[in-house]
Chains A and B, each alone.
Chain A
């Protein structure tokens, strides 16, 4: 009898170890993928592993990161915004058109207001009225892109020098764009981890009915998240146009919604929402940035690079399913 007891205890310990091992493996998969990929690029193109290149990557992903953080919080709450790319274009165009009449401060404020306003409209339609997030934002994706192209049929370029500083200036050795990105990450992580609103946002994604019944501001939080996403898309638009010194309404922000979605899914947020961590999303974005940077260094043609991004999105969705099965 004692023998069986001991065997059972040992078996239970084995099972426990097996479970923990799986959880550790899941948690370590993303950092490990980043490390392996970095190693691969380093072998293929040694210039990859230099401080300057990593700073270059940070500049390349800065706008994507700035959108991905609020987008991730929106997805945790069980909502989605597919119009981020078009809103980016609209904000870029609005900024480009308003530098002359309004001056830099006026143009920046107007741009932030336009981005927030676009988010508010999505938020009211989805959260207050209760329409489908995917359909509403698919609609606004097209609508806002059209609006941007109507406002500026031709690319706008030649922005004031004082504004372009954002795109190339460095502070304490790091580009301004990198600092903005780091500030957004810190803000997002702090909101989710330290503020009471953090668990409330996730609660909406876990069980909306229960969230309503325990008295959470279900509608207001939804609208707020959409507005915040719009605001940070406007910030990202200003970052983007300051770097390329032009705002082409037809191409600016094209496909951004897919990159953001890929990064966020890679970062471990389920498509259905209800959980996730801001810092893992940062890793997801970084993986995407490294991938495109490394492929360029390896002189891989753009088409192949585009296909790789598509594959990564499918892989990310696959991981989502795997986690859901085991979890």
Chain B
């Protein structure tokens, strides 16, 4: 039994994304699937899942063609897909989510008791006992939601399981548990797995084979024992090695640009830290530690509940991002698709949308030549590929779209003082990551203060001059010149752990702060 992709091709308009992909996954094996952003991974997955129709070629699952099948038919043929973006419903319980569309019925009515029992069983098989099947999904953390999605996929006993960056939002512990579950499902049920990931260090833990997709074609497929991480890095993006990056050499000086003094927002705080011109503050913590909430407060997207924010020595309080921007504070939000990209906008408009009608762009009439020049400059500086100003935002790969998002605030003459970045390299491949880091070094050299929130300790150590470690909303530590990733990870985990033991501290709920505006 195998899942086969044969000479698959797909173009969007004039852009060919898949240029003849051949791929085989055997039952009982895990195939790690790697590729830079823009290599065509998402498109391939969409073609397999039935979300999109391929132009040419075929996909076979155990001999049956999936070409032109609807997502439902694909599912019935035994191919389950778990997307990177969550496909769960907050208003339903865990068990209801797991059995959605395939409810267990008795006498024509949904048998909740049976569903809850079965859900508990499925979760137990995943080695998870902390999730109550009756709990509403909205009360769960992001990591737990991923587990629910996986339980839902396994419920149908698929023959093939495709996982699109399943660990992108998981903590190390959850990722480890997930790897164990996948190995178990493969060993016991003999399912074949395609495991898409950006994290090269998990490949040896979970996969049997590695395949590299580059520029719409399969570069090679090899047994995992024969491949080193360096081989994979080279193959994905040969000329961009992360290890070549050094922390930008620049000595921060002068008075503090940003000063947080006992700042609290929602469940986060109190936080106190200073940031000087040209300095990079890393904000590190596990999922639900409050990184996003802190950045949203600084950017005016969420209100502060107490404490002070000082910008250049002035006490400030922003009611909206617009106010923060007028003072030179900008945010690149974390979830690109939901929070920063205008999918149908041309690249040039995506780049300049915050600046239309305000300095440095003309106030009254649009100047299209000027807009074109600004895009050209950004494309050159960040190596945006393809450098086509008219291409829609959604047609760019994750990494290149992210370059446009960051490029927004690198437009000259906007008076940027403080740049806030939330998970700036999430879903961004190594090559684009390198280019984003270089752009940040540039920003730093120009004397802009930068705050980067990340769940990636390596990234924090690479970029930050000092790190603020958060745990369950509390400031755990403020460390100058971080070098030791292990220490950061340990600090964050310990904070999480002690908060769980202390009932008074465990009270704040890590709920997402959904703003009406």
Contacts and interface: CB of A to CB of B under 8 A. Distances in A.
Interface of A: 8, 11-12, 15-16, 19-20, 23, 130, 194-200, 202-203, 206-207, 209-219, 274-275
A213 B353 contact: no
B517 A219 contact: yes
Given A198-B366, A207-B342, A11 B9 contact: yes
15 contacts: A12-B16, A16-B13, A19-B11, A130-B517, A194-B365, A198-B366, A199-B345, A210-B338, A210-B339, A210-B340, A210-B341, A211-B353, A212-B301, A214-B325, A215-B325
Given A19-B14, A212-B301, A214-B353, 5 more contacts: A195-B357, A199-B349, A207-B338, A215-B321, A215-B322
In order of increasing CB-CB distance, the 6 nearest A-B pairs are: A196-B357, A196-B356, A214-B354, A215-B325, A215-B322, A206-B342
Contacts of B349: 199
B331 interface: yes
A101 B333 CA distance: 57
Interface string B1-18: 000000001011110100
B73 interface: no
Contacts of A211: 342, 353
B297 interface: no
B234 interface: no
A194 B11 contact: no
Interface of B (DSSP majority class) = loop
Contact of A196 (B339, B342, B366): B366
A20 B342 CA distance: 23
B14 A210 contact: no
B26 to A, nearest CB: 26
B172 interface: no
Contacts of A200: 353, 356-357
A213 B299 contact: yes
Contacts of A212: 301, 320-321, 515, 517
Contact of A274 (B11, B20, B320, B344): B344
B344 A275 contact: yes
A213 B329 CA distance: 11
B408 interface: yes
A207 B341 contact: yes
Contacts of A198: 366
B17 to A, nearest CB: 11
B365 A195 contact: yes
Contacts of B504: none
Interface of A (DSSP majority class) = helix
Interface of B: 9, 11-14, 16, 19-20, 55-56, 299, 301, 320-322, 324-326, 331, 333, 338-345, 349, 353-354, 356-358, 361-366, 408, 515-517
Contacts of A16: 11, 13-14
Nearest to B348: A199
B357 A15 contact: no
Contacts of B354: 214-216
A238 to B, nearest CB: 29
A13 B517 CA distance: 45
Nearest to A198: B366
Given A216-B322, A216-B354, A209 B343 contact: no
Contacts of A275: 344
A123 to B, nearest CB: 15
A210 B517 CA distance: 10
A211 B356 CA distance: 12
B339 A209 contact: yes
A131 to B, nearest CB: 11
A225 B516 CA distance: 20
Contacts of B365: 194-196
Contact of B333 (A197, A206, A213): A213
Contacts of A215: 320-322, 324-326, 354
B19 A8 contact: yes
B3 to A, nearest CB: 24
B395 to A, nearest CB: 12
Contacts of B341: 207, 210
A311 B161 CA distance: 45
B4 to A, nearest CB: 19
B11 A210 contact: no
Contact of B11 (A12, A130, A195, A209): A12
A130 B322 CA distance: 18
Contact of A213 (B20, B55, B326, B340): B340
A150 to B, nearest CB: 35
A213 B356 contact: no
B340 A15 contact: no
Given A16-B14, A196-B357, A213-B299, A11 B322 contact: no
Nearest to A130: B516
A195 B340 contact: no
B415 to A, nearest CB: 13
